[in-house]
Amino acid sequence: MKRLTDGKGLQVVYDSVGQTTFDKGFNCLAPRGMMALYGQSSGPIGPFDPQTLNAKGSLFLTRPSLNHHIITRAELLQRSEELLGWIRDGKLKLRTEFEFPLKDASEAHRALEGRKTTGKVLLIP
Amino acid sequence: MRPHGWVGLGIVAGAEALLLAREPTVAGWFTPIVWTGYVLFVDGLAARLTGRSYLTTDRVEGVLVALASIGGWWLFELYNAPRFWRGADDAAGLWWRYHGLEPNLFVRRVGYDWAFATIFPGLFLTAAVLRAAVFARARVTPWRPSPRVLALAVTAGAVSVAVPLLFVSTWLVPLVWIGWTLLLEPLNYRRGRPSWLADLTRGDASRPARAPDQRSGLRRALGVLELLGGDAVDVHRPVPRLRQDLRDARARLPRLPAVHARVLRDVSLAARAARRRRADPGRPCYNPARSEPKFTEDLMKAIRVNTPGGPEVLRYEDVPEPQPKAGEATVKIDAAGINYIDVYQRSGQYKLALPLTLGLEAGGTVTAIGPNVTEVKVGDKVAYTGVAGAYAQYAAVPSARLVGLPAGLTTRQGAAAMLQGLTAHYLACSTYPLKSGDTCLVHAAAGGVGLLLCQIAKMRARASSARSPPRRRPSSRARPAPPRSSSTPGRTSKPR
């Protein structure tokens, strides 16, 4: 990883996997880089020593969640207008190949958990 | 009783019978139908007892008031009816909303005020019947109100009636009723019309001249039949003859259900609900002890979790359609997004109160709004996230959470974009605002957020500098790798 960035390391690691990737992600960061842990699909992370942040180079660690980024209506609108604008202009591609009727919700959950889907899965009432 | 009284009684009984048969039109228009019947019935009774009533004497204004009383309720129900129709046909039921008659307009306030205010003639007739039948027999001490008291009453009444025209309050009904009483009673009194005030002024003299009532309690109770059968039943006759008369009178009465129709309806619904509960214990159904009666038109389909577990615990059920409270809007859902957090909520890893309707994002159309909603209007295409209950046909959502969709975007795209798209947006633009020259690593890049985050990261690189895009790990691009949640996480590459 350091090789790919000419030995400088990464400015930010976006991690939603958690347990199995968390420690390795720290080793890839440049000094003063940021670890953004926004999910933990492989399981919870054990106790964490803040001294690690110093040892690996004055790193930042955050555990953000969407609710805290759309607290006011103004912020919600500002974010969603930009996002929806990108989608409308074709700059951002959504993948929505998987749609299920509402009554087949359990089928949809089975497909999602069995990793038979990619992109967004929608239920149509 | 006069013939139109019998007609009114027939209307009331017919409406109750049709309601019992679950006739949807009668259910939707129940109040004005029964109110019309009641005004006719009580007017017929008043005409029989007092010799004067709105519909039988030639007082034009009285007829007008009585008609307005009936008409007011039909107008009022025009506002309520769409609630009953919505299940069957959105567009037809909400025509008045699509034509710009928004619920907060003055027109609606006048409609409410009129409807409740015009109950008064009905009450007045009822009062006349009660005066003639019951209170004329009570002892009354004479009391004459001074002109000042009368003027105060009229002023207070006028204000009380006018207040709901300015703002709709929860005290609307008692305000308007008391207002009309205060307003009309002194006016009737001054103009020499029959009124409670006039009775008070005359005291005992207001009682009609009749022999002292020496009947026994039973016979006095049977005196009610005097009101219905008129002279056919003479309660002063010897008991055997009286029994025969009562049988005759009863034979002439139209056949009515032994129990009031509403009670019968509750009993039959409860019995059916009990049968269904026995057949399928998981099914939510009508429970008279806990809920208001629900018409089938008010139910919708939703996916519910009654016990935590695997995908099979998701049940497709009938639940009451949500009504928007203050600050809320009802959204008819076109598409609901599935997220991995739904799986955690379903399986019980995230503890939530049950039963639970899953789903944290959706796109759809606003079909109704509650009080104090300014952000959206009926008919808007919207999307939202962060409010539970999207796996359903309708959801009541705080209007501050609703985002209007720009022209050219479908509600399905809106549903697909909100939760994961906004997450990717704040990660790339706020948590760490990516700029040209930055390098980032996205784990699980084939997952929902990962796919979008990679695109936004590239976009921000181009926007900040066309010449030198940030070097990104080539392996962090979307790749059909198994995303998310597993013992072997869906990372796209191993850090070296």
Are A112 and B490 within 8 A, CB to CB? no
Lowest mean pLDDT: which of A86-100, B31-45, B146-160, B362-376? B31-45
At B338 the pLDDT is: 92
Q: What is the mean pLDDT of chain A?
A: 87
> Are B399 and B446 in the same domain?
no
- Most confidently modeled range among A33-37, B62-66, B272-276, B489-493: A33-37
At B178 the pLDDT is: 77
Lookup result for tokens 């209950």: B389
Asked, for residue B240, whether it belongs to a domain, the answer is yes
- Tell which B residues from 425 to 444 touch A, by Cβ distance under 8 Å: 425-427, 429-432, 434, 438-444
Q: Which residue has the higher pLDDT, B216 or B305?
A: B305
Select from B416, B447, B482 the last residue of a domain.
Answer: B416
Structure tokens at B353: 């109160």
Asked, for residue B186, whether it belongs to a domain, the answer is yes
> Are B193 and B166 in the same domain?
yes
Backbone angles phi, psi at B287, to 5 degrees: -135, 105
Alpha carbons A75 and B391: distance in angstroms, whole number: 26
At B368 the pLDDT is: 86
Asked, for residue B278, whether it belongs to a domain, the answer is no
Alpha carbon of A50: minimum distance to chain B alpha carbons (Å): 19
Alpha carbons B35 and B59: distance in angstroms, whole number: 22
At B355 the pLDDT is: 84
Average pLDDT of the segment spanning B132-158 = 76
Q: pLDDT digits over B25-82, tens only?
A: 777 677 778 888 888 888 888 777 766 676 766 556 566 656 666 676 676 666 555 5
Are B403 and A84 within 8 A, CB to CB? yes
> Are B8 and B48 in the same domain?
yes
Pairing of strands B328-338, A121-124: antiparallel
**Given A87, A91, A123, which is nearest B417 (Cβ)?**
A87
Q: pLDDT digits over B285-309, tens only?
A: 444 444 444 444 467 889 999 888 8
> Are B388 and B452 in the same domain?
no
> Are B17 and B151 in the same domain?
yes
Are B495 and A69 within 8 A, CB to CB? no
- Residue of B287, B283, B294 lying closest to B270 (CA atoms): B287
With b for 16 or more beta-carbon neighbours within 10 A and e for fewer, the B266-295 pattern comes to eeebbeebeeeeeeeeeebbbeeeeeeeee
**Given B420, B422, B489, which is nearest A70 (Cβ)?**
B422
Select from B359, B389, B416 the last residue of a domain.
Answer: B416
Asked, for residue B271, whether it belongs to a domain, the answer is no
- Residue of B377, B403, B362, B285 lying closest to B324 (CA atoms): B377
Residue B477 lies in domain = 432-496
- Residue of B223, B420, B199, B242 lying closest to A16 (CA atoms): B420
Task: Return the H-helix or E-strand segment holding B38.
Answer: helix B30-50
Alpha carbons B329 and A115: distance in angstroms, whole number: 35
Q: Which residue has the higher pLDDT, B61 or A62?
A: A62
Are B314 and A105 within 8 A, CB to CB? yes
Asked, for residue B276, whether it belongs to a domain, the answer is no
Select from B416, B446, B469 the last residue of a domain.
Answer: B416
pLDDT at B464 over 50: no
Alpha carbons B462 and B290: distance in angstroms, whole number: 60
Asked, for residue B144, whether it belongs to a domain, the answer is yes
> Are B69 and B154 in the same domain?
yes
> Are B141 and B248 in the same domain?
yes
Alpha carbons B104 and B167: distance in angstroms, whole number: 10
> Are B24 and B77 in the same domain?
yes
pLDDT at B202 over 90: no
- Tell which A residues from 66 to 125 touch B, by Cβ distance under 8 Å: 66-67, 69-70, 73, 76-77, 79-88, 91-96, 99, 102-103, 105-110, 112-113, 115, 118-125
Q: Which residue has the higher pLDDT, B495 or B316?
A: B316
CATH number, domain at B397? 3.90.180.10
Are A20 and B473 within 8 A, CB to CB? no
Structure tokens at A82: 């930009």
CB B372 within 8 A of CB B326: yes
Q: Is B318 helix (H, G, I), strand (E, B) or coil?
A: strand
Q: Could you give the percent of chain B with pLDDT greater than 70?
A: 55
> Are B302 and B448 in the same domain?
no
Are A1 and B375 within 8 A, CB to CB? no
Are B431 and A64 within 8 A, CB to CB? yes
Beta bridge partners of A60: A34
Residue of A nearest to B401 (CA): A73
Looking at the structure of chain B, the number of domains it has is 3
Q: Could you give the percent of chain B with pLDDT greater than 90?
A: 17
Q: Is B492 left (phi over 0), alpha (psi -120 to 50) or beta?
A: alpha
Alpha carbon of B289: minimum distance to chain A alpha carbons (Å): 30
Q: How many residues does chain B have?
A: 496
> Are B439 and B491 in the same domain?
yes
> Are B15 and B137 in the same domain?
yes
Asked, for residue B137, whether it belongs to a domain, the answer is yes
> Are B457 and B399 in the same domain?
no
Average pLDDT of the segment spanning B191-198 = 73
Asked, for residue B388, whether it belongs to a domain, the answer is yes
Are B438 and A105 within 8 A, CB to CB? no
